[in-house]
Amino acid sequence: MSKGPSSRAGKSSGRGQRDLRVRVKTAKGRRLSSKLWLERQLNDPYVTRAKREGFRGRAAYKILELDDKYRFLVPGARIVDLGCAPGGWCQVAVQRVNALGERGDKPIGRVVGVDLQEVDPISGAEIHQLDFLSEGADDLVKGWLGGPADVVMSDMAASSSGHKTTDHLRIVALVEAAAELAFDVLEPGGTFIAKVLAGGAEANMQAMLKKAFTKVANVKPPASRSDSSEKFVVATGFRGRPDMGGASQQS
């Protein structure tokens, strides 16, 4: 292991023997919470790794870890990323579904990202500025994909109000809305992944997903910060819209 510039033969400061933390001085007028957030970012190994590996954010490793476990981003799959900004999940999907056709022996997948805000282009992904809650959004998505989706995924979170219960209810409502779109665009056997917050108000949403999918798991991937209440619901084996009695979705 190479030594840092502060190490000298015969004399060591001891810094190489313990983890160093980047300290961010509290500037005049800077809120303590902002200082702590910045310090956490500077010391986050996933943030450092994302910069090194070219991902747009640490969130890319959440979908990587979920896919390592559940294997839904397979070559040839058609993927919808709801609320895709800044684009890290799309970047991962492009690689894993072979959207660029770089693996000549594998089928070529398709990745469509949608977001309310404009997102910088991503090679191999088709990005659209769209409110997925708008009328006709499901038909637009299927048109861009060239057919039904194999995976609908969402890392969306509602803007924080600072009130824990309110924030939880907002994100549950957002997940339910994302699930409604998934019911309209997913291929039978498809997968739905969405971020939720730990809490007791999502029972109805969980029940709805269990009717629509053969298996529903709630997972906290290693890339999720330990002090965060976020987790991800991974619903596999789409059987059809629950209010259709479990009948298979027709594309």
Q: What residue numbers does the annotated binding site for S-adenosyl-L-methionine cover?
A: 87, 89, 115, 131, 155
**Which residue from 146, 138, 126 is spatially nearest to 84, judged by alpha carbons?**
126
* CB 58, CB 46: distance < 8 Å: yes
Question: Is 195 an annotated catalytic residue?
Answer: yes
- Considering the candidates 164, 195, 210, 220, report the single residue annotated as catalytic: 195
Cα of 124 vs its chain's centroid, Å: 18
CA distance 214 to 21: 45
Burial 159-189 (b: 16+ CB within 10 A, else e): eeeeeeeebbbbbbebbebbbebbbbbbbee
CA distance 36 to 16: 24
* CB 187, CB 249: distance < 8 Å: yes
Strand 186-197, strand 230-238: pairing: antiparallel
The pair of structure tokens assigned to 19 is: 């983890």
CA distance 84 to 132: 11
* CB 126, CB 97: distance < 8 Å: no
Where helices occur in the chain by DSSP H, the ranges are 32-42, 45-53, 60-70, 88-96, 137-145, 164-185, 203-212
Instruction: List residues forming the annotated binding site.
Output: 87, 89, 115, 131, 155
CA distance 41 to 48: 9
Q: Which residues are catalytic?
A: 195
